Every structure is written in C-alpha cells, then in structure tokens.
Amino acid sequence: MSRKPASPPVVAELGRPETPDETRARKAAASKRHRDNQTFTNLIVAVIACLALVLVMVLVVLRPGLPPREPIDVIAAAAAAQPIVETPLIAPELPEGFASNAAELRTGSDDITTWYAGYVTPEQQFLAFTQALEANPTWLQSTIEDAPQTGERTVGGVVWTEHDQRDAEDPGNLAFVLTTEHDASTVVIAGTAGDDELQTFAEAVSAELVAGD
C-alpha cells in the first residue's frame, strides 16, 4: 500500500504553504541576516583588539622609566686598573656637569692596551679620551679614522694636533679630535662638544699628562 505524499507545511504568517519562490526568498533573507551578524561580530572583535592594543601602548608609555644611571667614578676606576699596567693612567678632574658613562681598560685585536673614558658634558654633548699604551701610527690612524690634520694647539704645556671635522657630512663622535704622544702614551680626545667644553676637557687631560712626568 503506497503512502500518500506529505503535504507542505502551512506557514503561520501566510496561512498556507510557501511557494517555491517564497521559500527561496526566505532562505536568501536568512543567509543575509547571518552574513550581516557575522560581519558585525567581526567588527566588534576588531574594535576590542584595537582597544586592547591602545591600552598596552598607554601602559608602556606611562610606566615610570628606569632611574638614571649613576655616573662612573673615573678616578676610582683608574686606581683599580692601575696595578694591571705600568704607565700612569689618566684620571682627569673635571668640573661639575661632566658625567662619565664608561671607564675601562681595553685590549684590541692588535694587542694594544687602551684606557678609555667617555663623558656627557654639561651641554649634553659627548667627549671621550683614549690613552693607548705603547701604540703605533697605524693604531692612531685607525682610531681617528684617518681624520685629516687641521692645526695644532698647546694646552697646559702639551702640544695637541687638531683634527676638526665639524663641517664634514657625518663625522659622528669624531667631529673634533685632538691627538698627542706623551712618553709611552698616545692620547686621543674626541667628541661633539663645543670649543669651551672641549678646552676645559683638554686642560684636565693635559694636567694629568704633565702630572705623570
């Protein structure tokens, strides 16, 4: 006995079964609502992600910075390093405002030992000296990157060769260089400071060289 095909369900809003066109229209509308809901959900997720990123950036920016690094006591560092070498190490006494951020003995690939100290000046410029022990002309030219000689100046009884590169395109920390040879030491002063701070620095270094005689 064959079963009678089931009748299409009656749609309450219509009071009758849907026509094929109405079924297609209903399904298309449902698909559109689903896509619209999915797009809105994605938008909300993207907004939340952006807000979270902004919050992280704000927290990073507002986080208190690390306390400023304590200046290095170059005189104490020189005293600690002195037993390692025979040549007296430079430890200039500089006026208030000059803060050292590095002071150390170094030995390069050429086996030349150097005593280096770097400073931030009162005008927030950079100055440093390098004292090479038993160096050679090759070491000097390499250290100053073949900066051309532009003159001489005598500071505190020490004759220095000037290498003024302040008009060069990008001299870096070698904007102005002073070099001298004193006993067993070859000394290089280099930095970006102006004339007054450079003169103060050179006077302090020269006084150390003369005091070691």
Instruction: Let me know: does 163 contact 144? Beta carbons within 8 Å.
Output: yes
Residues facing residue 92 across a β-bridge: none
Q: In a 10 Å sphere around its CB, with 0-12 CB exposed, 13-18 middle and 19+ buried, how is residue 46 labelled?
A: exposed
Instruction: Let me know: does 178 contact 160? Beta carbons within 8 Å.
Output: yes
Global confidence as pTM: 0.69
* pLDDT in 10s for each residue of the chain, 213 residues: 555 555 666 655 665 676 777 677 777 777 777 677 677 676 676 667 666 665 655 545 544 554 566 889 999 999 999 999 999 999 999 999 999 999 999 998 889 999 999 999 999 999 999 999 999 999 999 999 999 999 999 999 999 999 999 999 899 999 999 999 999 999 999 999 999 999 999 999 999 999 977
DSSP 13: T
- Please report, for the chain, the start and end positions of each structural domain, with discontinuous segments joined by +: 10-62, 74-211
Question: In angstroms, rounded to a whole number, what is the distance separating the alpha carbons of residues 87 and 90?
Answer: 9
Of 82, 85, 116, the closest CA to residue 101 belongs to 116
User: What pLDDT was estimated at residue 62?
Assistant: 47
In CATH, the number for domain 74-211 is 3.30.200.100
Helices (H) and strands (E) in the chain — how many of each? 4, 9
User: What pLDDT was estimated at residue 176?
Assistant: 97
